[in-house]
Amino acid sequence: MEEAPIADVRALPGIRYVDAGELTKLVAPPYDVIPEAQVARYQSLSPHNVIRLIRPGSDYEGAARILSSWLDEGVLRQDAPSMYVHEVEVAPGRTRRDLIAALRLEPYDRGIVLPHERTHRGPKEDRLALMRATKASLEPLWFVYDAHGTRVGDLLTEAAAGHPIAGFADADGMPQRLWRVVQGRITDELAAALASLPVLIADGHHRYETTLAYSEEVGGSADAASRFTLALLTDIGDPGLEVLPTHRVMKAGIAVTGGEPAGSLEETLAAIKGRVAAGVYREGRFQVLPLEGDMAVVELHRQVIDNILGRRSAEDFLLYTRDAEEAVRWVDEGVGVSAFFLDAPDLRQVLKLAQEGKTLPQKSTYFHPKPPSGMVIHRLDANRTL
């Protein structure tokens, strides 16, 4: 009888900055949320800011040389096998707690690591070139899981009871703390508690698929470090986990009919909260459009956007923003003809659909705040086992 697949979470010999007290100047947001105009800002914070590794332009070999030189010079060092607990204060008195560990790379069809959004080719080619040069997972991929009924929360609390190894702020000034949990009882119990849980990719679909492709390319034994990605894992029940909606602006297309009139943007956003519905703005008028089905973003595309566009690609005709006022402004300025507003998605519904093998339209979720890059690096070494 075939064994049930499990999520394989392990301690790793993480690579970290030696001067943990300077992390505020050394970390940066994930590579794909940094506008090109902001790259110089992070470079100016420190000659050792992680931006030089994660955003090297096309100089991938240059990033590899920098990584090697920082290790040789003692800017970075490698820990003994460990997991890490990361905490971010998202608002006064409200925190989110994450686990940083190695997660075995699994094809989606095994049902252990679950995607929820479609991906495109370009970003994967860039990240694969960087990975081939540096042979490293330079920033964590973000996953969520449902810890209800497990001891994960208690174990993370126990792991974070001592003094953190670093306290710092991210690019938005949010306070962060990091604890190191040396391989032992707590890491073993965390691995066992997480083993029966499917994990959903929250942020990093492109990078996950890239790392999986790289792992298959370089090979290694079943326990080789190259078979694992650097993962940051968060319980979907964590009170500090925020998921923001992403609104759509269509650059062309006919008007939508059958909605309920609404008097303002505020009224529209309030009316769609908790409903399978979307707000619409066109030609100075707002309406609320009820949708049939379980999840608004899926049904908006299936029932409305796909019907308007026909065979044309949605990605050629859609703009995205998390700022509803910006979406209205784009329509008023003629950048688009219609704006569609969505409520934040229900994460348990996203996980349920992912377990059923269903993917959502691109940019269906926006997890916030993003974990900074530069806390831990993982060597994708085919000759070292975890």
List the one residue out of 182, 140, 177, 231 whose CA is nearest residue 13: 182
The confidence band for 55, taking pLDDT boundaries of 50, 70 and 90, is very high
CA distances 90 to 20, 48, 169, Å, are 21, 26, 11
First-to-final CA distance of the chain? 27
Peptide bond preceding 369 in cis form (omega within 30 of 0): yes
Can you spell out the DSSP letters for 348-384?
HHHHHHHHTT--BPTT--EEESPPPBTS-BEE--TT-
pLDDT tens for residues 223-238?
Answer: 999 999 999 999 999 9
Q: Could you tell me the two tokens for 98?
A: 């994450």
Q: What is the pLDDT of residue 202?
A: 86
Burial of 52 (0-12, 13-18, 19+ CB in 10 A): buried
54-68, 109-123, 278-292, 319-333, range with the lowest pLDDT: 109-123
- 1 pLDDT higher than 50: no
